[in-house]
Every structure is written in C-alpha cells, then in structure tokens.
Chain A
C-alpha cells in the first residue's frame, strides 16, 4: 500500500467512524452557539456594543469549540491500540496524522463555518463582514486543528488531559486569533483585508508542513 493509499484509507475509516457516532459531532457546535449567546446576556443587548465585539467573540468561541472537540482526536485509537498499529506501520506517521486531523476538521471545523453567519446575525455583525468571517474561519480553523493535534498527542496518555490541553494549546492559538479577528473588524469598517488573509495563509502553510511532524514525535513519546 502506498503512502497515498494509506492516507485515503485512514481518512475514509475516520469519516466512517465519525458518521457512526454522529450525535457526538453536534456537541462542539452547540457549545459554539451557547458560548456566543452568553456574551449578549453578560455584557449588554445593545447593537452598538455587540457589533464591536462580534468578531472577537465569534472567534474566541470558535477557538474554544475547536480545542474542546480535539480531545477525542486520538483518544479511542489510543485506547484500543490502533494508534500503536499506525505507529508501527511502514507508512509515514506524519502523513497518517495529517489524514486524521483532516477528517477531524471536516466534521468539526467545517460545520463551524456554516454556523458562523447565523451567529453573526445574533451579534449584529455588519453584512459586509460576513465573507471575511467565513474566509478567516476557512483559513484559521485548520491551523487550530493542526496545532491542537500536537497538544492532544502530548496529553493523550494522561487520564485528565483536558485542562492541561487548554494550558498547552491556547497560548499557541494567539496569532490566529489576532489576525483573524482583526481581519473581520477591518472588513466591518469597509477596508481591504488581503494582508491579514495572506498572513493567515502563511500560518496555515507553516502549520500544515511542520505540525504533523511534531504531532508524530509527540505520539511516539505518548506511546512509549
């Protein structure tokens, strides 16, 4: 089996597994909606205030939802031993990691994109900013999954890794948050956002090329 075939096979297997537990996939989305709903309740229902904080709030909620959903990325494979099989297989572990992260992003990152315009309406985000919100989420959420996978791989062997994961991963998410939320803010004010999008694209290509290697190294440590 070539590396590419292994990539495809693993992607198919993971998507099938996610499909069989599809009820669980709703949880991060519900979390995303509920967290965003809390902000008007906690701050103020006024349009003037909400439209200012909307990009940041939506992005912080997306960040937390992406991170919390990552917890089960390697968990079941670790527990039933298939992760060890992957590590022992002749295929490049970084590539297999990439397949797993990609499958995970398809079922958790992508749906956030579909929900985001609705949440934009909740928070009175100006119409002009919606495309920018979607574009930043499209470029940014894969980065969150890729960087988060490193943290998950480091904590997968621990019984209570959840809190630790947030401590490890959230500081690394800061650049994505800064560029993405700023892009949406700037777009809401009616200015071009090509610069921010280029930077997000750079972050994406950097994490796409480097993060799978770090994740693979971390997995090998967790498995040892």
Chain B
C-alpha cells in the first residue's frame, strides 16, 4: 500500500496517470454540466418570488462551495507537502490556489449580478459576501507569496504555512463577520436539516448535478495545472527531458522502470 502510494506520488507516474484521467474527468464534467444546465435553466420551475433570476444559483452556489473546498484542499495538500516533503503535494497546492481564487471570484460576480435585481444594489456589506471577499484575499495572499519566493520548494513550504494559518483563521473570520452583519438569506441546503431543505426537489436535483459537474471540473483543471507545474519543477530531471525529446512517455516509462521506481521494502 505504502509502496503503491510512493509510486503514485513520483512526479513521473503522476504525470502519466493524470494525463490519462484528464479526458475522462473532463468529459464527465461536460456531460453533467450540460444535463445540469438543461435541468436548471429549462426544466426547473420558476421561483414564486424571484422569478427566473433565481437560476443563477446553478452557477453561484457550486462556485461558492468550491471556493471553500479549494482552500481546504490547498491547505491539506500543502500540509502533506510540508510534513512529508512530497514534491507532488507541493505542486498540487501551488496549482490549486489560482483555481480556488477563480471560483471565489466567480461566486462574488454571480452574487453581485443576482443582487442587483433582488436587493437593488451591486454590493452589500453582508456577512457571507464579505467573508467570500476575505477568502478571495487570502487566496491572493497565497498566490502572491508563491510568486514572490524564487526557489519553488521554499515557496511551496512558505505558502503551505500561510494556507494552514488561513485555515485556522477562516472559522474565526466567518463567525466574526457573521456576527458583525447579516443580511444574506440563510443557507438553503444544510446537512443539519437534510430532511426538509428549503428548496423544491425539482430545483434541488439540477443544483446537485451542477455541484458534481463543478467538482469534476475542479479536479480536471487541478490535474491539468499540476501536470504543467510538475513539468516546470522537474525540468532538469531525466523523464521531462526524454518527454521533450519526443520519445513517448510509455517507452521511457519502461526504460526507467528499474532506475526510478522507489525501493520497496
């Protein structure tokens, strides 16, 4: 088991595996996206209060979820990189940061677009909007720190520390901001009241499909970016140079089987 994990975590093997997985994940995400959008924009009934403008939740809610998931994912892979010094985890953490920031930005923009007809303004200093904005800033801090340190491995470790500090702080920030001001409508779906979510089932199903599609999209992009990140970080290693020289990855893999694979004990 440990040997298998070790083998998977070697940049070369991950690069190949990720390359194989990407089209499948991306394809599944596209199909689910099409189904979810059709369900959300066409099949789901109108909201009795908000009319058609509620339909933006099919983008807004999944992006908000993923912006939070992305931060936790980044912190966990950063911590793994920090503790066990796994290069792959460092590369993943570095490649998740801009993706999570984009989802936070998307959540802010769609929320603002929805707020204009509903609340009458583009922006309100409401608790959840503000904490998403702060989350966005935290992402930007991690990205900036990553870019500022030249040595890639040091940069990864420094931003991992920052991400972990951020994770400790996020609950405090969220509760302090919530306590400071609350206007946003309450969470529509929560695990605590799963029996009776305050959303109609016809609206809920497309939302869950969209959430799954976004999640798969997230992983697709993470895999793609991590592959690029790995090539950049490992540019001096043999497997990357062989890849660039035009040999197919499969043959180089076979040729390197004995020299590169970690010792199994």
Contact = CB atoms under 8 A, between A and B. Distances in A.
Contacts of A182: 180
A175 B173 contact: yes
Interface string A169-213: 011101100110010000000000000000100010000001000
Chain B CB within 10 Å — which of A154, A161, A222 has the most? A154
Interface residues of A, number: 28
B161 A167 contact: no
B134 A171 contact: yes
B113 interface: no
A218 B144 contact: no
Of B144, B164, B168, B176, most buried by chain A (CB within 10 Å of CB) is B176
Contact of A178 (B154, B161, B180): B180
A163 B137 CA distance: 14
Given A174-B134, A203-B172, A168 B162 contact: yes
Contacts, number: 66
B258 to A, nearest CB: 33
Interface in A72-119: none
B161 A221 contact: yes
B105 to A, nearest CB: 15
Interface in B106-160: 134, 137-138, 140-141, 144-145, 148-149, 154, 157-158
Contacts of B172: 175, 203
Chain B interface extent, by class? 20 to 34
Nearest to B172: A175
B157 A172 contact: no
A178 B134 CA distance: 13
Chain A at the B interface: SS class: helix
B137 A164 contact: no
Interface in B158-193: 158, 161-162, 164-166, 168-169, 172-173, 176-177, 179-180
Given A154-B158, A218-B161, A168 B145 contact: yes
A51 to B, nearest CB: 20
A167 B180 contact: no
A150 B165 contact: yes
A221 B158 contact: yes
Interface of A: 147, 150-151, 154-155, 157-158, 161, 164, 167-168, 170-172, 174-175, 178-179, 182, 199, 203, 210, 214, 217-218, 221-222, 224
Interface of B: 134, 137-138, 140-141, 144-145, 148-149, 154, 157-158, 161-162, 164-166, 168-169, 172-173, 176-177, 179-180
